[in-house]
Structure 1
């Protein structure tokens, strides 16, 4: 059931969003995009159940691959009851839901803590990883709030 403010379902996605996605015509390239989309979807679904493995970024990449190989799979992913709203919000406006931002920040902090305790890195490595994670957190945090 669609709630007020929800994005409409997607029937075919060569429209919708900042840039139209055009399926490739080369059958080998389509096969590679389709295979990559399937693998990325599998990783994304695993990420929904495994702590510290992200979900949304893999599904965003899967939707991009499906947009170039299989409009049917792309529409399935974008209309999925659980994953679809976030993917459509990203595609339309680059938005990340506030809850997803908090989960991302928590996952990054936990990931850094686990890295630091288990690897016991020297300070340059710890600093480099910390700066990379902070940069990632800033990027996620500055995206508009979505679905």
Structure 2
């Protein structure tokens, strides 16, 4: 038997030990890998909703694009760079990251959307529990939006 055909656990030509199929599968499905894949999937969902929100009235596109960028920061730097450098989708996200500010016109639009959504829900007979939950969420969002700098 030659040294080349020795199977006594010697290292392969790459210098790294062989990994069993189970070890490879475990590495692919580690907690961190699953977390990154879930964040990436959420980022894609937020990206799609944000892109739709850029053209559909009453759907805040930039908020979803900011969430998408946050997900991509932790899951795919390549997609994060693509989003930040995108001609139409990126500027609002970049501006948010740089200043954390919300322009006054956008604040007004957001607050009007909260009032309009709650009023429409009430008018069309939404259950009281839903109106209460919406009210709490919209009050919290109003405090957040109002507390952000203008520029």
- Normalised-by-shorter TM-score class: 0.5 to 0.7
The counterpart of 1:141, out of the listed 110, 133, 146, is 146
Counterpart mapping for 1:108-127 below 5 A: 108-119=114-125, 122=128, 126=131
Distance 1:86 1:142, change over 3 A: same
Aligned to 1:14: none
Which structure has more relative contact order (CA 8 Å, sep 6+)? It is 1
TM-score, length-scaled by structure 2: 0.66
CA-based RMSD: 2.5
Runs of 4+ deviating beyond 6 Å: none
Measure how far apart 1:48 and its partner are: 1.9
Q: Indicate the residue corresponding to 1:55 in structure 2.
A: 61
Q: CA separation in 2, counterparts of 1:86 and 1:129?
A: 26
User: Against the structure 1 CA distance between its residues 134 and 26, is the aligned structure 2 distance closer, same or farther, given a 3 Å change threshold?
Assistant: closer
- The CA distance in 2 between the partners of 1:63 and 1:75, in whole Å, is 9
- The alpha carbon displacement at 1:54 in A equals 2.2
Q: Which residue, 72, 75, 78 being the options, matches 2:78?
A: 72
Distance 1:74 1:57 in 2: 15
2:50 is aligned with 1:44: yes
- CA-CA distance at 1:138 after TM superposition: 2.3
In 2 relative to 1, CA 82–133 (structure 1 residues): closer, same or farther, beyond 3 Å?
same
| TM-score, normalised by the number of residues in structure 1 | 0.68
Structure 1 residue 118: Cα displacement: 0.6
Query: Is the 8 Å Cα contact of residues 108 and 133 (structure 1) preserved in structure 2?
Result: yes
The alignment of Structure 1 onto Structure 2 pairs a total of residues equal to: 121
Structure 2, unpaired ranges of 5+: 1-30
Return the alpha-carbon distance in structure 1 between the equivalents of residues 44 and 36 of structure 2. 12
CA displacement at 1:63 relative to structure 2? 0.3
